[in-house]
Structures are given as C-alpha cells and as structure tokens.
Amino acid sequence: MAPKGLMGIDSEDELEVRPLTTERENTRIMERLMQDWNLGPEKASPKPGDNKPYWNKMAAVWGVSEAQARRQLCANCEYFDDTPEKMQGMESVPFNKFDADGGGRGWCHKFDFICHNLRTCQAWEYRPYEEDED
C-alpha cells in the first residue's frame, strides 16, 4: 500500500464519489446517439464478419475501409475514459443490455454518458499517445 497521501487519496472514507450520471439520463443520451450519431453496433462482436452493414456504414461516414472502421472503437477514442475514478463514478448506474457484450464500460467525455469498449460512434477521434506528441 502506498504511504498516506502519496496517491492523493488519504483513505477510502475520505474519497468523495459523485455519480457521473443517472440510469435514466444515460439511457436518454444513448438512445439519442444511436439515432443521431450511429452509436453501435447494437450487438457488439469482435468477429470480422459480424455487423457488416453497420461497419460498412461507419466506413462510409469516416471515409475509410471497413477494416479500418472496425479498429476505431470507443476503447481507443480520444473521449473514452476508463480511469479508476471514472469507473467508480459509473458504479451507481445499473448494468443494462449494452453492458452484456460491450467489452467493458468507459466514460465518454464528448457526450457525458457510459460508452463501451467494443462500440463506437461517428464522433470517434484518434487518441494520440505520448510517443506521438513529440
């Protein structure tokens, strides 16, 4: 265990945990994103042939190949946040059908909702890595 104060948190009791959203608000935003921003696919799958119509549509939206579109996931989006603090803030929202096969939760800073590793939307942006910023 790290010495007291080293990690910025003195004790679990002192950690203020604020919910990031409510179940109702998260569902409302998710539904809007499915309609207006092509959030999906509805049933996530890592298999290359699955969800072909969805990935072809996203490839056209982004102007890339289907193979490249399949690489542009929430998990590697600029707006995706799965830090321990964000994960803790999402704990108050019950899991839903999108959690079942989404590959894990993360917080989307662009739309302020719970997104999932294996999904994406047309707002996807490249996340630069430290070595890219030199």
pTM given for the model: 0.81
Over residues 42-59, mean pLDDT:
90
Cα 85–Cα 11–Cα 5 angle in degrees, nearest 5:
90
Q: Can you give the pLDDT at residue 45?
A: 83
Residue 46 binned pLDDT confidence (cut-offs 50, 70, 90): confident
Residue 132 binned pLDDT confidence (cut-offs 50, 70, 90): low
